Every structure is written in structure tokens, then in C-alpha cells.
Amino acid sequence: MSLETASRPPAAADDIQHWVLDNFAELRRLRAGLFEALNGEPMPPDGKLDDVPEQVAIVATELATNAIRHGRPPTRVSLRRTEHTFVLDVADEDPGTVPELAGPRKPGKGGLGLHIVGELAEAVGWYSDGTSKHVWAEFRIPPA
């Protein structure tokens, strides 16, 4: 996964919910809100999302942690939905900083958040809108 080149998330996505975070303590509220939002959305006929809510929560936590730690507040998290995917968008007020994948590190030294995001999400990208930097991840809604 490379985040070196800016990209845009899917354009035709409907807003589901938004969160504004100012510190790490608010990550718990974000995760709880994501589970509620994802489980309250229309699902496939069998009602199952497989591991999607857990994957979205992990990715949201990683991206929001990066934004709080490396960006400028506030951190804004948006959950959107297309016909076949959920799109998570995490923005901060530091449009000039490019997200970077960490190089090899020893376990426990941190810096692997974007690698985790790349493993769990269907697609990942980032863009700047001039005032904010957005890092987004897309998750396929499992077929019925």
C-alpha cells in the first residue's frame, strides 16, 4: 500500500455519522459510535456484516490516533456509505503533511498504524482540500 500519491475517496457516498475528537480519551466514544452506526444501518438480507464493524473500528482508531498525534486539531471522523461499501474519512487541520508508512520497527515501538489500515481496508488513500488533510479507508459490505 502506498500513500505517496494523493487520491480521492468514492464521491457518491451518503453521510451516516460524524465525530469530532480533541484527544485520545475520546477514541472510546468513537469506537462505540461506529459500532452503533454500522449495526443500525441496512444490512444484507442475512443481517451479517462479518467482521466489518470491528475492522472499521480498528482502522478508525488507528487513523484518528495518527491525526491526534501528528496533525492539528480538531480531528474529524466521518462514516459514509455507498451502495456496496462503507467509507471512513479522518481529517485534521494539517494539510501540508503527507501520511507516511513507517519503516521496519521492533514490535512495541509503534508506527504500524497505516500498515494495519492497509491490511484491514479494501482501499486506502489520502487528499488535501487546502485546509485539511483527509485519510480515507473503504470497506466492502459483504454480499448476502
Supply the DSSP string of 39-96, one letter for each residue. HHS---TT---TTHHHHHHHHHHHHHHHHHHHS-SPEEEEEEE-SSEEEEEEEES-TT
Q: Are the beta carbons of 63 and 117 closer than 8 angstroms?
A: yes
pLDDT of residue 32: 87
Taking 90 as the threshold, does the pLDDT of residue 77 lie above it? yes
3-class DSSP assignment, residue 97: coil
Average pLDDT over residues 49-70: 89
With both helix axes pointing from N to C terminus, report the angle between 113-120 and 52-70 in degrees, rounded to the nearest 10: 150
Supply the DSSP string of 7-30, one letter for each residue. ----SS-EEEEEEEESSGGGHHHH
Distant-in-sequence, close-in-space partners of 32: CB < 8 Å, separation ≥ 6: none
Per domain, the residue ranges of the chain are 14-140
pTM for this model (two decimals): 0.85
pLDDT of residue 50: 65
pLDDT tens readout for residues 92-129? 999 888 887 766 666 555 567 888 898 999 999 999 98
pLDDT of residue 11: 77
Residue 112 CA: distances (Å) to CA of 2, 40, 60, 74, 123: 14, 31, 14, 22, 17
Average pLDDT over residues 4-19: 83
**Domain 14-140 falls under CATH 3.30.565.10:** yes
Whole-number percent of the chain with pLDDT over 70: 82
pLDDT of residue 1: 47
